[in-house]
Amino acid sequence: MTNTMKKKILFYGNCQVGVLARFFRLNLPDRFDVQLCTDCGLSPFWNEKGLYAVWSKENREAQSEYKQCVQSKIQESDVFIFQDHSGLSVIDDLKTKYLHDEFASGLKICISDMRFFYRDWETDRKSTRLNSSHRL
C-alpha cells in the first residue's frame, strides 16, 4: 500500500528558495501541500505565495503580528526548507536557528544562500560581509 497523503512543506528564505517553492507548488501539487505565506498575512515576495520571506521590506514591520502563525505553520509542516535569516531585519522569534530548533520537527533542509558581497579594499578599508548558511 502506498502513502497517498500529501506532505506539508514550508519554504523560508529568499528568491532562491522561492524558485523551489514555485516548482513544488506548480509541478508537484499531488505530492506536496505548499504552505502559503498569505495564510499568515505575509505579502508574497516576487509574487510567490509559497515563500515565507519575513525579512522583505513588505513584511518586515509586521513580524511581531504574524510570528505565531509562521511558527505554527513550521510546526505543522512535514518538511522545512530554509535559508539562514538571522540578520538585523528579522526579530528573534523569526530567526532561522530559533525556528529550526524550537518549531521544526519534520525533515529540515538548509539551502545555502548563494549571494556574496564584494568591497574594493583599495578604496574602502571597511569590513566585508559574506553571506553563508554555516551559522546553523
Mean pLDDT (the chain, rounded): 87
Predicted model pTM: 0.81
Q: Summarize pLDDT for 10-23 with one digit per residue, the tens.
A: 999 998 999 999 99
User: Does residue 122 fall inside a structural domain?
Assistant: no
Range of the domain at 85: 7-110
Give the whole-number percent of the chain exceeding pLDDT 70: 82
Other Cβ atoms less than 10 A from the Cβ of 49: the count is 19
25, 35 Cβ separation under 8 angstroms: no
Do strands 7-12 and 79-82 pair parallel, antiparallel, or not at all (unpaired)?
parallel
Count of the separate structural domains present in the chain: 1
Q: Summarize pLDDT for 67-112 with one digit per residue, the tens.
A: 999 999 999 999 999 998 888 889 999 999 999 999 999 999 999 8
User: Does residue 96 fall inside a structural domain?
Assistant: yes
User: Does residue 124 fall inside a structural domain?
Assistant: no
Report CA 68 to chain centroid distance, whole Å: 15
pLDDT band at 121 (very low <50, low <70, confident <90, very high): low
